[in-house]
């Protein structure tokens, strides 16, 4: 294309934009509205995904050990837990530490727990576990329950399933909205 042809086309294009102001404004406004909706949809989906990721990180597993476990048993159980895939953090909580946390959480009502110190402490040895992929929580819990010396495992499987489904719905809705505006 010659430079003179290009300048002619540009000159005629600008002349027609100002000649047909209403249609030019309508088409520009439509394009801007579509771009804005696409940006808002992307921001909404990204923020929802970030919030769900933050909630996902707060979901954990509590493992309670049998009464009378020895220090060697605790180390063995910890080592076995650490070998399980998708576990990102394992923290041992002694009965005394658990009681201190309980007293700190209850605050004003801590007098209720005064008699539960030393050998009168009813709380058991436990581990707090964080996993890297909550979709694997069922598998991780099943492997932990199979470890000798584990009394019980507390996990929020129902809440995890709801969270996974909500995340999936928001992801698909966000992608659908983005595709509608393309």
What are the contacts of 93-98 at 24+ separation with CB within 8 A?
Answer: 93/125, 93/126, 93/127, 93/128, 94/125, 95/121, 95/123, 95/124, 95/125, 96/121, 98/123, 98/126
Percentage of the residues of the chain whose pLDDT score is greater than 90: 1
**Mean pLDDT of the chain, nearest integer:** 80
pTM: 0.61
Split at pLDDT 50, 70, 90, the class of 173 is confident
CATH number for domain 60-111+121-155, candidates 3.40.1260.10, 3.40.50.720, 3.90.76.10, 3.30.70.3040: 3.30.70.3040
Model confidence over 123-139: pLDDT tens digits?
A: 778 888 888 877 788 88
For the cut 80, the answer to whether the pLDDT of residue 99 exceeds it is: no
Q: List beta partners, residue 89.
A: 130
Q: Where in the chain is the domain with CATH 3.30.70.3040?
A: 60-111+121-155
pLDDT of amino acid 119? 65
Model confidence over 21-73: pLDDT tens digits?
A: 888 888 889 989 888 887 887 887 788 778 777 776 777 788 888 888 888 88
The kind and range of the H/E element at 139 are helix 137-145
* Strands in the chain per DSSP E: 60-65, 87-93, 126-131, 150-154
- Per-residue pLDDT averaged across 101-118, rounded? 66
pLDDT of amino acid 2? 77
pLDDT of amino acid 110? 55
For the cut 80, the answer to whether the pLDDT of residue 158 exceeds it is: no
């Amino acid at each position: 294309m010659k430079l003179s042809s290009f300048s002619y086309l540009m000159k005629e294009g600008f002349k027609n934009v100002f000649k047909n102001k209403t249609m030019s404004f309508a088409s520009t406004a439509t394009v801007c509205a579509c771009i804005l909706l696409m940006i808002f949809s992307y921001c909404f989906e990204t923020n929802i995904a970030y919030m769900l990721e933050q909630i996902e990180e707060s979901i954990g597993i509590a493992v309670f050990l049998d009464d009378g476990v020895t220090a060697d048993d605790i180390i063995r159980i910890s080592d076995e837990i650490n070998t399980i895939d998708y576990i990102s953090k394992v923290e041992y909580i002694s009965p005394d530490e658990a009681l201190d946390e309980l007293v700190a959480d209850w605050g004003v009502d801590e007098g209720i727990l005064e008699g539960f110190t030393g050998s009168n402490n009813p709380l058991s040895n436990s581990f707090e576990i964080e996993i890297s992929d909550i979709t694997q929580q069922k598998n991780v819990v099943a492997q932990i329950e199979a470890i000798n010396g584990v009394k019980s495992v507390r996990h929020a499987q129902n809440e995890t399933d709801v969270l996974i489904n909500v995340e999936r719905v928001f992801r698909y809705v966000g992608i659908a909205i983005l595709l509608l505006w393309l």
